[in-house]
Structure 1
Amino acid sequence: MNRVLFIVDVQNDFTEGGALGVDGGTAVAAGIAELLSAYPDRYAHVVASRDWHDATGDNGGHFATDAAPDYTVTWPVHCVAGTTGAEYHPALRLDAVDVHVRKGMGEPAYSLFEGVTEGGETVRQLLDAWGADEVDVVGIATDHCVRASALDAVAAGRRVRVLRDLVAGVAPASSAAALEELAAAGAEIVDSRERPVGDDEPTA
């Protein structure tokens, strides 16, 4: 079994009350924790990413500094390294995370594949080293970083499932469009309690 779980950007700034909080973010954090508790042997590895932006400058044009954010290319200040907003949501089970990835350090970054570990390894390098051929994707936001991460996983030749009950997006229309795009690209859009093919775990 070489299945990996990607937890994308489940951070305080992306959940309710945060700088870019989305509706349902807290429920996603709690739901991911429940998934990992219910199926402790489902994943060979669990990788979690965080936006980790520089405190100074506009992070390569990612932060709106001279004009109002357009919420497409430029955004309000969020997930600044070392701040509470950049930390994982407290409902997430960090004891189940094997690898932590930081992205967006001084530049725009959406996909988990754009991040690196503390030791400088990329996610693609990790997947290759593990021989991982299946990836489940959960997290925030469906229409931005989840979308980008899942598309990159498909492009990397992995079998990809997006767990639709464990993602939350900025807007309903763009989130639905992202899931349609991912399905067209070859990702499976499934519920978290739907077993992967070959999974012999008992039903929770």
Structure 2
Amino acid sequence: MSNSYLVVIDMQNDFIDGALGTPEAQAIVEAVAQRASSFSGTVVFTKDTHGSDYATTQEGRNLPIPHCIAGTTGWELAPALETVRTHRSAPVFEKPSFGSLDLARWLVAQNDAEPIDSIELCGLCTDICVVSNALTIKAHLPEVPLSVNPALSAGVTPAAHDAAITTMASCQVQIL
């Protein structure tokens, strides 16, 4: 039996149809939910998580659009993804920045307990949090096959999405 992981990155309301939503993000919700629902391995989620002090953070100063404030509707996973998460009792890694060190460390521990066959990433935003998590995981687990499905990811813009896919391919992340 395969020991595979699917990491669903930041499929939260604010990135879909909220403060930072895009038509491209809206277009992938059902397909990501279907992939997470039917995945035969372990599914985990990340959530971009900010506090009421967001405006005073470096990210808040550089991107002065409050989003994913803990406890708000925008912070919650899209309903279709929350249904999958609940049904699977999938873990969620809340992260205050683009990449999750906690997720990477957890995956290392999982790999130490039983070697991981593959890790697949999907979600939002390809050019910010997906690429950040891909490279963080790759740095922690360089010998574990890592992939990203561009059809199940969306960037801030289509051009930024494509650039991130190119960057990940250059860093030996398999593009599905």
Q: TM-score w.r.t. structure 2 length? A: 0.86
Tell me if structure 2 keeps the 8 A contact 1:26–1:89: no
Q: 2:98 aligns with which of 90, 107, 110?
A: 110
Count of aligned pairs: 169
Q: Give a deviation string over 1:127-161, Cα, whole Å, max 9, x none.
A: 44453241000000011101111112222222111
Q: How far off its partner does 1:57 sit?
A: 4.9
Q: Which residue of 1 aligns with 2:16?
A: 15
The residue matched to 1:163 in structure 2 has which SS?
Answer: strand
Tell me if structure 1 keeps the 8 A contact 2:6–2:36: no
| Aligned partner letter, 2:21 | G
CA RMSD of aligned residues (A): 2.0
Q: Which residue of 1 aligns with 2:134?
A: 150
Q: How far off its partner does 1:98 sit?
A: 2.0
Paired-residue identity, %? 31
| Aligned partner letter, 1:84 | T
Q: Which residue of 2 aligns with 1:172?
A: 158
Higher helix share: 2
Structure 2 spans left out of the alignment, 5+ residues? none
Q: Which residue of 2 aligns with 1:53?
A: 50
Q: Give a deviation string over 1:13-63, Cα, whole Å, max 9, x none.
A: 0002x11112222332211121234x342x2x1110001111135363211
Q: Which residue of 2 aligns with 1:160?
A: 146
The CA distance in 2 between the partners of 1:5 and 1:46, in whole Å, is 5
Q: Give a deviation string over 1:163-191, Cα, whole Å, max 9, x none.
A: 1110011012221111011001001111x
Tell me if structure 1 keeps the 8 A contact 2:101–2:136: no
Q: 1:98 aligns with which of 78, 90, 108?
A: 90
| Aligned partner letter, 1:87 | E
The CA distance in 2 between the partners of 1:89 and 1:159, in whole Å, is 28
The residue matched to 2:161 in structure 1 has which SS?
Answer: helix
Q: TM-score w.r.t. structure 1 length? A: 0.75
- Higher Cα Rg: structure 1 or 2? 1
